[in-house]
Amino acid sequence: MALVVAELSRNLSRAPSDGEPTYCGAEMAAFSDLYRRAHGYLALATCLFGLTTNLFSIAVLTRKTMASPTNAIQTGLAVADVMVMLMYIPFALHYYVEAFGESRHTYAWAVYTLAFVHVTQVFHTVSIWLTVALAVWRYLAIGHPSLNREWCSMRNTFVSIVSVYIACPVICAPTYLTYAITPERGDQQRFVVNFSELSQRHDRLLEKLNFWVYSVHVKLLPCAILTIFSSCLISELYKAKRRKASLLRRSTAGAAKVSAAERHAVRTTRMLLAVLLLFLATELPQGVLSLLSGVLGKGFHDQCYNKLGDLMDILALVNSSMNFIFYCSMSSQFRMTFSSLFRPARWVPRPFKTAQTTEGTECTRV
């Protein structure tokens, strides 16, 4: 997600030096300026929608009838997305809608901006690696059921979620040292977040390290893992389709029962696959752009990466807002539980009780 690097770096862009190659022309700058006018309002609407839907997801996924390792990971994912959006709403109001006027340059807002950088970076990284865990868990559930029962227990899932929440702040450590609060051009009354003195030493070594960590460990490596496991999940779906066709050709009562169970597994896998593919569509371009910034230097970073920062942000926010839609549209148990929580009792369908006892292994419940 471009929340950290792109948002701040747009404010910290340096003018291109003489002889510096041109990577993105005036058209890119014009697009960036045009979209920036609408970005604040679009981001606010997306955050408010995503905040609401993620809270709904947490409420549903934490019900006893929904308890499963997969749902535990999805809950951890929703919590991380909530934290990102909670931090982004004041940021959008402040820097895009400009709801607070000249107060945007006070020391207090500079402190908030610095906190925004670190908190959003950490929680978005948590969201990314929990998405990776979700892909691995689902693949084990449908591809290796025997390993699934042992490795995907609730205890191991809980340990994995906690480990991700602990490890991600460590992965993001270079960010803590890269930025600092400084007076704006020597004006002691106006403060901004800028590259720290430490990051500017040794030919901006820390700044470059931060970009490499961000592009590789936070973006490209998770995307590579997700690509592999998404391909494996698609392969398993095709295998399930062939098994279903074979069973239907035999057309026995027992075959029909197995086919119904597989249909449920296929629906669950398709739902999670939609989550994974949307993640790849929004995160992979950011990783590539960040990597190119590290390879090509500040010229590409200032001319291209920064100009696309707002667009990358809104794509990432949309991604964080869409999981609830996938759950509702592709999981009958999620819809039933949501109905039992948020609709009048007389509207809740009676067959809901059967959904509580029809699941097989723990990792396949959604």
Q: Mean pLDDT across the stretch 291-310?
A: 83
pTM: 0.82
| Predicted local confidence at residue 184, as pLDDT | 79
81's CB contacts (< 8 A; 6+ apart) are: 50, 54, 123, 127, 320, 321, 323
Instruction: Dig out the tokens for 230 from the structure.
Output: 């998404």
| Alpha helices by DSSP H, the chain | 5-12, 26-61, 69-95, 107-143, 145-151, 154-171, 173-178, 197-200, 205-212, 221-250, 253-296, 298-300, 309-321, 323-330, 332-342
Residue 96 has pLDDT above 70, yes or no: yes
Quote the CA–CA distance of 19 and 26 in Å, as a whole number: 17
Weakest mean pLDDT among 5-19, 119-133, 189-203: 5-19
Q: What is the pLDDT confidence band of residue 150, given thresholds at 50, 70 and 90? A: confident
Q: By the 8 A CB rule, do 311 and 35 touch?
A: yes
Quote the CA–CA distance of 50 and 81 in Å, as a whole number: 8
Quote the CA–CA distance of 210 and 217 in Å, as a whole number: 10
pLDDT in tens, 157-185: 999 999 999 999 998 888 888 888 888 77
